[in-house]
């Protein structure tokens, strides 16, 4: 290492130790402060995602993560700053933070960039396993042109609020279920479907959710509207609209009793439970709970 290079590194606050002797020279050491860092595009994407989603997985990090993101934003060169800005998102809290499938960083970058620049996307729907159905397959859907407006993270899943130019209506898409293709067609901002995007995403039942992989999966008809159940259902569950006052919920858990317990949290009438193992689990819980002694005597009707 030359003296000029050593001087440059020291000006940048990198600690350089001088080693004396026949085998001496210069050695990059550990310092007390963080020296300037360099990130490529993928690293900038990882940092933007990590700093914005960390507060949803660990308490007390919200302010620190926001300050760290702002600090990095100020020192980033324009190209990397654009990559980070493309992933500005809304993060929502959910009481059931079940694991979510991994998301393709390339797809996330494509969607985030289109949101930032207001460019129309051409999207195709993927199967839950991430494969693309071919024309003629039962689950094949033609490509749609959409106006991507906002990214939202909820229940560890990434959602896109977009206006569908094909269906002429607002939609909520699971980003991991999209195969997006960028265009250079610009669109103008529309009046959003709800002043509260969090409420819009949480209360939209047809947002592309699919049942997560669990040892047990069951369904039940609930005497509640779909938009209410969708707001409180676990991540990785599916809410099907039946009519204005009823919906069907499909969800998974580690046991049949686990599913029965989650259904009980909705505090409503249940019917059409499947499979039989779920029905048996509900009966067992009723028997078990019915035997719990009330500390103050019989409860009032």
In three state form, how does the secondary structure of the chain look? CCHHHHHHHHHCCCCEEEECCCCCEEEECCCCCCCCCCCCHHHHHHHHHHHHHHHHCCCCCHHHHHHHHHHHHHHCCHHHHHHHHCCCEEEECCCCCCCCCCCCHHHHHHHHHHHHHCEEEEEEECCCCCCCCCCCCCCCCCCEEEEEEEEEEECCEEEEEEEECCCCEEEEEEHHHEEEEEEEEECCCCCCCCCCHHHHHHCCCCCCCCCCCCCEEEEEEECCCHHHHHHHCCCCCEEEEEECCEEEEEEEECCHHHHHHHHHCCCCCEEEEECHHHHHHHHHHHHHHHCCCCCCCCCCC
Percent above pLDDT 70 for the chain:
68
Chain centroid offset of residue 280 CA: 34
pLDDT tens digits, residue range 54-101? 544 444 556 776 777 777 777 666 766 666 666 665 655 554 555 667
The sign of the CA dihedral 214, 220, 224, 227 is positive
Question: HSE on the CB side for 141, CA within 13 Å?
Answer: 16
At residue 203 the predicted structure's pLDDT band, cuts being 50, 70 and 90, is confident
- What is the spatial distance between Cα 26 and Cα 17, in angstroms, rounded to a whole number? 6
pLDDT, tens digit, for every residue of 40-53?
Answer: 666 766 676 676 66
Span of 52-66, 159-173, 177-191, 227-241 with lowest mean pLDDT:
52-66
CATH class of 216-290: alpha beta
Of 78 and 290, which is predicted with more confidence?
290
Q: Which residues pair with 162 in a beta bridge?
A: 148, 171
Residue 182 has pLDDT above 80, yes or no: yes
Among 200-209, 274-283, 291-300, the minimum mean pLDDT is found in 291-300
Spatial contact of 237 and 222, defined as CB atoms under 8 Å apart: no
* pLDDT at 17 > cutoff 80: no
In whole numbers, what is the pLDDT of the chain averaged over residues?
Answer: 80
Q: Which residue has the higher pLDDT, 39 or 98?
A: 39
Residues 6+ apart with CB under 8 A from 43: none
Residue 191 scores a pLDDT above 90: yes
Q: What is the pTM of this model?
A: 0.65
Domains of the chain: which residue ranges?
A: 41-85, 105-202, 216-290
Quick: pLDDT tens for 99-116: 667 778 788 889 988 998
Q: CA 58, 62, 63: angle at the middle one, nearest 5?
A: 140
Residue 207 pLDDT exceeds 70: yes
In this prediction, residue 152 has a pLDDT band, given cuts at 50, 70 and 90, of: confident
Distant-in-sequence, close-in-space partners of 217: CB < 8 Å, separation ≥ 6? 211, 250, 251, 252, 259
Position 45 scores a pLDDT of 67
Tell whether the model's pLDDT for residue 168 goes beyond 60: yes
Query: Bigger pLDDT: 70 or 260?
Result: 260
């Amino acid at each position: 290492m030359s003296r000029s290079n050593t001087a440059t590194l020291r000006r940048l606050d990198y600690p350089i130790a001088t080693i004396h002797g026949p085998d001496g020279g210069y050695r990059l050491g550990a310092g007390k402060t963080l020296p300037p860092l360099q990130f490529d595009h993928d690293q900038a994407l990882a940092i933007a995602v990590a700093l914005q989603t960390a507060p949803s997985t660990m308490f007390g990090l919200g302010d620190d993560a926001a300050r760290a993101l702002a600090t990095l934003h100020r020192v980033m060169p324009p190209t990397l700053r654009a990559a980070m800005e493309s992933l500005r998102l809304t993060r929502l809290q959910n009481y059931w933070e079940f694991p979510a499938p991994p998301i393709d960083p390339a797809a996330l970058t494509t969607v985030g960039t289109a949101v930032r620049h207001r460019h129309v996307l051409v999207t195709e729907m993927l199967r839950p396993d991430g494969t693309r159905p071919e024309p003629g397959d039962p689950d094949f859907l033609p490509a749609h042109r959409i106006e991507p407006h906002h990214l939202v993270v909820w229940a560890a899943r990434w959602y896109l609020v977009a206006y569908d130019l094909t269906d002429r209506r607002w939609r909520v898409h699971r980003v991991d279920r999209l195969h997006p293709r960028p265009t250079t067609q610009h669109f103008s901002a529309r009046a959003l479907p709800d002043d509260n995007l969090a409420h819009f995403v949480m209360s939209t039942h047809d947002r592309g959710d699919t049942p997560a992989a669990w040892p047990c999966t069951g369904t039940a008809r609930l005497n509640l509207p779909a938009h209410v159940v969708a707001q409180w259902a676990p991540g990785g569950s599916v809410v099907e609209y039946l009519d204005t006052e009823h919906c069907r919920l499909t969800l998974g858990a580690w046991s049949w009793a686990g599913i029965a317990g989650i259904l009980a949290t909705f505090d409503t009438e249940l019917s059409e439970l499947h499979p039989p193992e779920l029905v048996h689990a509900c009966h067992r819980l009723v028997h078990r709970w019915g035997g719990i002694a009330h500390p103050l005597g019989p409860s009032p009707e």
